[in-house]
C-alpha cells in the first residue's frame, strides 16, 4: 500500500539533527542557542549565575546568597562548569531525599505510588550522574545536605512535588547560558527535560497547568531557587 502523501514527503525529506546533537557538534549552533537562552532569561527572571561562574558583580552577589543559604551548593565546587554541576547536584540531593520520605510515608499506593517511586529512582540516577561528572571535571562532588520536608497529606505532598519539579526544571534551564563544556550542557538539557516531564505529570495529578509558563519555559535565577529551597534545608 502506498504511503500517504504527507508520510512520503516526511520520509524523503532530510531530518534535522536533534538539538542536543547539534549543540554538541556545531559550535555556531551552540553559541546561537546560548545567546537566545540568555536573552530569554534577561527578559523574565535574569541570568542564573552561580558563585564561581566569572568575576562579575552578579556572580559575587550569587555567591553571598549561596553562603547565606548554607553554602552547600558551592562547597568544594571549584569554578565554571564544576560549580554549575555541584549546584545541580545539591538540588538533586534534595529531590531524591524528598521522594524517599514520600515513599516511606506510605501516603501513595497503586499506580501513583509506583510513579512516585520511579521519580525517586530517576532523581537518584541524576545524583550519581552529576557526582560522576564533577569527578570527571577534576573536582569534588558537593556534599549531601540534610533536608527537611513537610509530609502531612497526599494532596499536600503532590502539590509540593509539582512545585519542586517545576523549580528544578527552571533551575536547569537557567544554567544553559553559563555552561562551557558541551558534554555538561548536553547532560544538563537531558536532565532538564526529565524534570519538566515529572512536573507536567504531577500537574495532571494536582489539576494544575502542565505548562505553567505558557509556550516558553522560564529560567529561574539563583536568588529565586535559593529562597524556594531554604525552608527544606536542615
CATH number of the domain within which 170 lies: 1.20.1260.10
Is 39 within the bounds of a domain? no
Please state, in angstroms and rounded to a whole number, the distance separating the CA atoms of residues 53 and 81. 8
Non-local (6+) Cβ contacts of 132 within 8 A are none
Please state, in angstroms and rounded to a whole number, the distance separating the CA atoms of residues 57 and 230. 23
Is 9 within the bounds of a domain? no
| Positions of the chain with pLDDT lower than 70, given as ranges | 1-79
Query: For residue 56, what pLDDT is reported?
Result: 35
Is 36 within the bounds of a domain? no
pTM metric for this prediction: 0.69
Structural domain boundaries, residue 190: 45-232
Please state, in angstroms and rounded to a whole number, the distance separating the CA atoms of residues 216 and 206. 21
Please state, in angstroms and rounded to a whole number, the distance separating the CA atoms of residues 184 and 202. 27
Dihedrals φ, ψ of 233, to 5°? -95, 125
Instruction: Kindly state the cell numbers that stand for 50.
Output: 552561580
Is 56 within the bounds of a domain? yes
Is 24 within the bounds of a domain? no
Is 168 within the bounds of a domain? yes
Is 194 within the bounds of a domain? yes
Instruction: Kindly state the cell numbers that stand for 28.
Output: 555556531
Report how many domains make up the chain: 1
**Length in residues, the chain:** 234
Query: For residue 57, what pLDDT is reported?
Result: 39
- Start-to-end Cα distance in the chain: 64
**What b/e sequence results for 52-80 when a residue is b if at least 16 CB atoms lie within 10 Å of its CB, and e otherwise?**
bbeeeeebeebbebbeebbebbbbebbbb
Write down the H helix ranges in 26-153: 27-44, 57-69, 81-105, 110-136
Alpha-carbon dihedral 25, 31, 33, 39, rounded to 10 degrees = 170
Query: For residue 28, what pLDDT is reported?
Result: 54
Please state, in angstroms and rounded to a whole number, the distance separating the CA atoms of residues 229 and 65. 12
Is 109 within the bounds of a domain? yes
What SS3 class is residue 61? helix
Amino acid at each position: 500500500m502506498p504511503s500517504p502523501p504527507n508520510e512520503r514527503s516526511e520520509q524523503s525529506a532530510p531530518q534535522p539533527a536533534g538539538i542536543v546533537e547539534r549543540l554538541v557538534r556545531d559550535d555556531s549552533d551552540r553559541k546561537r542557542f546560548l545567546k537566545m537562552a540568555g536573552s530569554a532569561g534577561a527578559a523574565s527572571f535574569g541570568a542564573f549565575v552561580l558563585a564561581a561562574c566569572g568575576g562579575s558583580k552578579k556572580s559575587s552577589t550569587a555567591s553571598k546568597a549561596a553562603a547565606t543559604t548554607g553554602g552547600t551548593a558551592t562547597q568544594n565546587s571549584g569554578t565554571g562548569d564544576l560549580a554549575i554541576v555541584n549546584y545541580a547536584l545539591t538540588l538533586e540531593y534534595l529531590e531524591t531525599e524528598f521522594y524517599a520520605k514520600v515513599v516511606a510515608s506510605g501516603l501513595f499506593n497503586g499506580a501513583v505510588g509506583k510513579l512516585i517511586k520511579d521519580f525517586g529512582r530517576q532523581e537518584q540516577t541524576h545524583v550519581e550522574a552529576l557526582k560522576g561528572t564533577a569527578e570527571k571535571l577534576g573536582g569534588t562532588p558537593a556534599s549531601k545536605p540534610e533536608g527537611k520536608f513537610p509530609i502531612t497529606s497526599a494532596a499536600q505532598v503532590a502539590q509540593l512535588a509539582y512545585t519542586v519539579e517545576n523549580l528544578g526544571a527552571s533551575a536547569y534551564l537557567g544554567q544553559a547560558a553559563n555552561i562551557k563544556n558541551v558534554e555538561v550542557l548536553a547532560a544538563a538539557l537531558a536532565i532538564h527535560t526529565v524534570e519538566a516531564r515529572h512536573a507536567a505529570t504531577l500537574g495532571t495529578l494536582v489539576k494544575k497547568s502542565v505548562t505553567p509558563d505558557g509556550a516558553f519555559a522560564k529560567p529561574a535565577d539563583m536568588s529565586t531557587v535559593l529562597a524556594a529551597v531554604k525552608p527544606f534545608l536542615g
